[in-house]
Amino acid sequence: MRCPSCSHREDRVVDSREVEQGGAVRRRRECLACGFRFTTFERVGASVVVLKRSGQREQFDRSKVAAGVRAACKNRPVGEEQIEAIVAAVEDLARRSGNVVSSQLLGVAVLDRLREIDDVAYLRFASVYKGFEDASDFAREVGLLTKTTAPKRRRRGPADGGREASAT
């Protein structure tokens, strides 16, 4: 490992710990030449190929998944930990799926996780992933999204006894 400060090649590991639910190891290092401390991450380098809709194949790239999720979650109340959890779950799914995984499987996995945490982020991701062309595509997806959420409870007024009832 080359020191980012002085480019010296020798360092010592000060601390190691598992991160991303065991999917990576974070190491805190100290350069033996200048004393600069820096962090490295080690992940399993299993080769997973993504089969795209066009038939093209490319290496799975964790950073592409992360960029797409971050773009969908921009200016939304979604924390970096939640984003990282989605990316780690999709990466884990890709590894467990074998050497070749379809981009459709990965896209649906991202959508499923976004649906659970933020409707707007879900719609943003869906608009790109599903290739929305006009407002009717958004309206259709919002309709599907609202059908999958549980009905909200509403309060009844004094005319109907003041009892709570489910809006079904």
Lowest mean pLDDT of 2-11, 19-28, 125-134, 156-165, name the range.
156-165
Residues 39 and 51 in one domain: no
Cα(31)–Cα(2) distance, integer angstroms: 9
Residues 53 and 17 in one domain: no
Number of folded domains that form the chain: 2
In a domain, 133, yes or no: yes
Residues 72 and 109 in one domain: yes
Across 80-100, average pLDDT: 90
Do residues 72 and 63 make contact, with C-beta atoms less than 8 angstroms apart? no
7: left (phi over 0), alpha (psi -120 to 50) or beta: left
Neighbours of 31 (CB within 10 A): 21
Across 79-103, average pLDDT: 90
Half-sphere exposure of 144 (CA within 13 A, CB side): 12
Residues 112 and 31 in one domain: no
Across 30-50, average pLDDT: 87
Q: Which token pair is 148?
A: 């999958």
Sign of the torsion formed by the C-alpha atoms of 135, 136, 140 and 146:
positive
Residue 21 vs residue 61, higher pLDDT: 61
Its domain, for residue 15, covers 9-43
Residue type for position 46: A
CA-CA distances (angstroms) from residue 156 to 11, 147, 164? 68, 23, 5
Instruction: Write the DSSP symbol of residue 89.
Output: H
Residues 29 and 109 in one domain: no
Residues 39 and 50 in one domain: no
pLDDT at residue 164 above 70? no
pLDDT at residue 14 above 80? yes
Whole-prediction pTM value?
0.61
Across 159-164, average pLDDT: 51
In a domain, 160, yes or no: no
Mean predicted lDDT score pLDDT of the chain? 85
pLDDT at residue 15 above 60? yes
Residue 137 vs residue 75, higher pLDDT: 75
Residues 97 and 141 in one domain: yes
Residues 65 and 14 in one domain: no
> What are the E-state strand segments in the chain?
11-19, 24-31, 37-43, 49-51, 57-59, 100-102, 153-155, 164-166
pLDDT at residue 57 above 90? yes
